[in-house]
């Protein structure tokens, strides 16, 4: 059974891994078989927002594009939150025409993301990638229907163990994002924390993926 890497910026073409590779409209690579595409809040560029959105709309219609993202909100950058919200909502309006999930970048803006989900009545599954916060934030997101994806911080932050242990088995994913460690190493750490064998963990993540992305392996 393959490992599933919910979010990575590196296409390895490793046959033991099903990778959801992050792509940006302005540097799109047609050769990547399974990808997400979106406008990251860090890279909002007024001069190309319209063409980026048009590209996202086109790619969302493709079977190879399995999610919108990463997109979202980040309060620790200079781009005004108002502009970030505008671009975020424009992307969500496009994905609402599909049943595809959303992979979210969120920094210090969890309440705002929850509010947007409610305001726009988003029915598409929404996944917070690279989750690293405390149990209270995790529970608030879970209560509002979000999924949580874990990667780098499982390996780097021992305090995250207690949070991860309490996340329901049907509400999490695993990822590498930009780290050098492999997805197998992330699974190994996650299996220790959940106290389950890696093969069982693979099956759990596979079930979550099939249910959320409406894809079967």
Q: How far apart are the C-alpha atoms of 137 and 64, rounded to whole Å?
A: 32
> Average pLDDT, stretch 90-117?
98
Residues making up the annotated binding site for a divalent metal cation are 70, 105, 129, 177
| Band (81; pLDDT cuts 50, 70, 90) | very high
Per-residue model confidence (pLDDT) at position 215: 81
Going by the annotation, the residues of the binding site are 70, 105, 129, 177
pTM of the model: 0.97
Mean of pLDDT over the chain: 97
Confidence of residue 216 (pLDDT cuts 50, 70, 90): confident
Domains of the chain and any CATH numbers: 3-213 (3.20.20.140)
Is pLDDT at 40 greater than 90 in this prediction? yes
Q: Could you give the angle at the alpha carbon of 71 between the alpha carbons of 67 and 75, nearest 5°?
A: 155
């Amino acid at each position: 059974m393959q490992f599933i890497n919910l979010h990575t910026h590196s296409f390895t073409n490793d046959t033991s891994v099903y990778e959801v590779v992050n792509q940006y409209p302005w540097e799109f690579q047609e050769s990547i078989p399974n990808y997400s595409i979106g406008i990251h809040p860090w890279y909002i560029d007024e001069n190309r927002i319209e063409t980026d959105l048009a590209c996202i709309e086109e790619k969302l219609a493709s079977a190879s594009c399995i999610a919108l993202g990463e997109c979202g909100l980040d309060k620790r950058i200079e781009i005004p939150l108002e502009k970030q919200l505008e671009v975020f909502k424009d992307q969500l309006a496009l994905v609402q025409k599909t049943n595809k999930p959303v992979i979210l970048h969120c920094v210090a803006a969890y309440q705002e993301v929850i509010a947007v989900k409610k305001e726009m009545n988003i029915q598409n599954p929404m996944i917070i990638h690279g989750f690293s916060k405390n149990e209270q934030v995790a529970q608030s997101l879970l209560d509002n229907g979000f999924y949580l994806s874990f990667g780098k911080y499982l390996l780097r932050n021992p305090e995250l163990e207690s949070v991860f242990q309490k996340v329901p088995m049907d509400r999490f994913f695993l990822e590498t994002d930009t780290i050098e460690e492999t997805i197998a190493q992330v699974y190994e750490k996650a299996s220790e924390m959940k106290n389950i064998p890696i093969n069982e963990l693979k099956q759990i993540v596979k079930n979550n993926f099939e249910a959320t992305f409406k894809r079967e392996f």
